[in-house]
Structure 1
């Protein structure tokens, strides 16, 4: 064996010599390990090693080398068995200067698989974090990061979990094993994450059975996970929980420095998304409160004009003519209540009347305050007799029982005008018809019901 061959055999770089017929005549151990094929490569044709879709690129540069050119290319290459390798390859012609011919070429390969895997991961994490690709509460983005982390590290389970005292709550999960439900609660002491939180730093093992810290841990006794890597997560500067990846299988190699650095990037990405998730939830809660406030009458707690206008408009669009009743209820001589007892007493009457009418309705019916002493009731009712009976019962609920104030009782009545929905209605049209009926009820002496479906 030549001295040069001995040097190539111990070189870290992957080296092969290929003759002019594109037959492998030499590969060093590093190259053989990189391809990791079951059969020996020496003596095989290049076409026996690479897939059809990669041969075009491979042959292009090999032909240039056989033409006497030094060349270089970096690309992912697919092997015959479907596996993908990322490499940076240099082709160096082996020239017989005496004969003036190229007998073959050396190929020197650097493994770019790890670097390209990180690049792919970072692109995916960036995609997850960009505004146009993440869900409204960031859950979709967090789940995507967990999936990408599992793929990159080659592990089966990724978790984002919250720790509260001794309680460990799984909030987001990606699992290639049996399904794990979010919101699953465990004792913190039963999880490897307790080690991470106690150390307040990234902790890991690739073979728990050989590491006393993990081998004797309750989690190993219960779940038998051999590989684990976890880091603490902080929310607004406070310890919140952990990001972790794990697998029941042991890894062949320790986590590389590149993998550990990439894991830190994943941790920071999850922390960023968690902070955004909390902010978005807070904003949504505030928005919901504002929406409820904007659709609620402040005095009575009933729906207000804004809500009932949208509700009726929607019902008119989806309901057939004659399927619901729109009724206006107006308190008779309400100005006298305010003038005689004061506006606070008037407000109390409005609140008590609203509650009394609401209790007299079915759950499928709606009551709202339009303003002043005017209310609207929507009856999901197509039967005219039942509609009349319900509205008259509401009128009697007001008439037959006085409203109790601190030192007095006030008796009042209401007038009601009602109409069914008809073809082509909008809110203004149905309101105007009910208002006409309300005017008729007032004209008849008040404390009565008037409708156009009598």
Structure 2
């Protein structure tokens, strides 16, 4: 049964109420406000017990909330029955207060763990939403948010976009298989990441393309950085199917000093990349406005 524990607790309360009907004299409660408050608390406790069922996959949170609401509801039940019967079963004891306190403590701990669990899930989802699964780099969406958001460069500060493309990547997939191609992408991504500065933003832009955002650089510095990356990738080797693969990259650069539309800037870098491929690949080209 889906709510086996909850139904068992409810049945115990029902049997206890029937027992008290047969043992103690019944009298209509005089304090309707107190009765209403205690009844609402009792219902609220059972609402918690039933609605936390999906949390069974997290036993520590589930049992803390279930036991806490059960103890608290037990205290509410005792207070509630005192309103209906002349002689109270707990009128001369502090058992209901103890149960209420203990239940509240368990509920507080359970809610605290639940909130921590929720925060962890939100953080994990955010990372997954912003990260390319294969390379571990930022994806296109996260790159755009970073470059146009709080990390956007200021006007007058030189910035550059470097669009890198792995040369003849389709041939690598065709000749060695997609698993080998994925290994090349992952290794190149890690190599590029190891060469980034603290203010640089790197993302997998799509397919075999990677996009760098360089802050506070001149056009000459951007060219030097791009060429250093090109040479670094050229020195890498990949072992796939008992064969050694050496890949190269072509780089297109857009450099500017003022904020424009990011889409236009990337398009300029793409035009420069196209020219680098036309020049024979494995080279760096800076975009020049016509």
> Common fold, TM-score beyond 0.5?
yes
Is the CA contact 1:381–1:387 (under 8 Å) kept in the aligned structure 2? Answer: no
Partner residue, 2:225:
390
Alignment of 1:16-27 (within 5 A): none
Specify the alignment match of 1:139 in structure 2.
Answer: none
Give the counterpart of 2:135 among 300, 314, 325.
300
Q: CA deviation at 1:349?
A: 0.9
Q: How much does 1:323 deviate?
A: 3.3
CA contact (8 A) 1:353 1:398 kept: yes
Aligned equivalent of 1:425: 260
Residue 349 of structure 1: aligned partner: 184
Mark the runs of 5 or more structure 2 residues left unpaired by the alignment.
Answer: 1-33, 42-62, 69-91
* Residue deviations 1:252-288 (CA, integer Å, cap 9, x gap): xxxxx89996676455444333222211211221121
Tell me the equivalent position of 1:400.
235
Q: Following TM superposition, by how much is the alpha carbon of 1:238 offset from its aligned partner in structure 2, in angstroms?
A: 7.2
Task: Write out aligned runs for 1:59-138 (5 A).
Answer: none
Q: Does 1:338 align with 2:167?
A: no
1:323 to 158, 164, 167: 158
Query: Which structure shows the bigger proportion of residues in strand conformation?
Result: 1
- For residues 98 and 259 of structure 2, the distance between their equivalents in structure 1, rounded to whole angstroms, comes to 62
Tell me which stretches of 4 or more aligned residues in structure 1 moved more than 4 Å: 236-239, 257-267, 315-318
Counterpart in 2 of 1:222? none
Alpha-carbon separation, structure 1, partners of 2:153 and 2:164: 25
Return 5+ residue gaps in structure 1 as ranges: 1-118, 127-233, 240-256
Retained in 1: the 8 A contact 2:271–2:287? no
Secondary structure at the residue paired with 2:149? helix
CA distance in 1, matches of 2:155, 2:101: 55
Residue 286 (1) aligns with residue 121 (2) = yes
The 1:401/1:366 distance shift into structure 2, 3 A limit, reads: same
On the 8 A contact 1:316/1:425 being kept in 2, the answer is no
One of 271, 282, 287 as aligned partner of 2:106: 271
Query: CA, structure 1 residues 353+429, in 2 after alignment: closer, same or farther (shift >3 Å)?
Result: same
**Corresponding residue number in structure 2 for 1:235:** 64
Residues 394/363 of structure 1: CA separation in 2 closer, same or farther (3 Å cut): same
For 1:370 and 1:318, how far apart are their aligned partners in 2?
A: 19
* 1:362 and 2:197 matched: yes
Indicate which of 440, 443, 454 corresponds to 2:278.
443
In the TM superposition, what whole-angstrom CA distance separates every residue of 1:393-434 from its partner, at most 9, and x where no partner exists? 000111233323351111221111112344342321221121
- Alpha-carbon offset, residue 383 of structure 1: 2.7
Does residue 413 of the first structure (1) align with residue 248 of the second (2)?
Answer: yes
Please give the secondary structure, in 2, of the residue aligned with 1:235: helix
> 2:177, 2:152 → 1: CA distance?
42
Q: 1:315 to 1:449 in 2, by over 3 A?
A: farther
Could you tell me whether the CA contact under 8 Å between 2:134 and 2:186 is conserved in 1?
Answer: yes
Q: Please state how far the C-alpha of 1:311 moved relative to its aligned partner.
A: 0.8
Q: Tell me the secondary structure at the aligned position of residue 450 of structure 1.
A: strand
1:420–1:453 CA contact under 8 A, matched in 2: no
Bigger helix share: 2
Q: Name the count of aligned residue pairs.
A: 209
Taking the aligned partners of 2:235 and 2:263, their CA distance within structure 1 comes to: 33
CA RMSD of aligned residues (A): 3.2
Q: Offset of 1:365 from its aligned partner?
A: 2.0
Looking at structure 1, the residues matched to 151 and 233 of structure 2 have their Cα atoms a distance apart, in angstroms, of 29
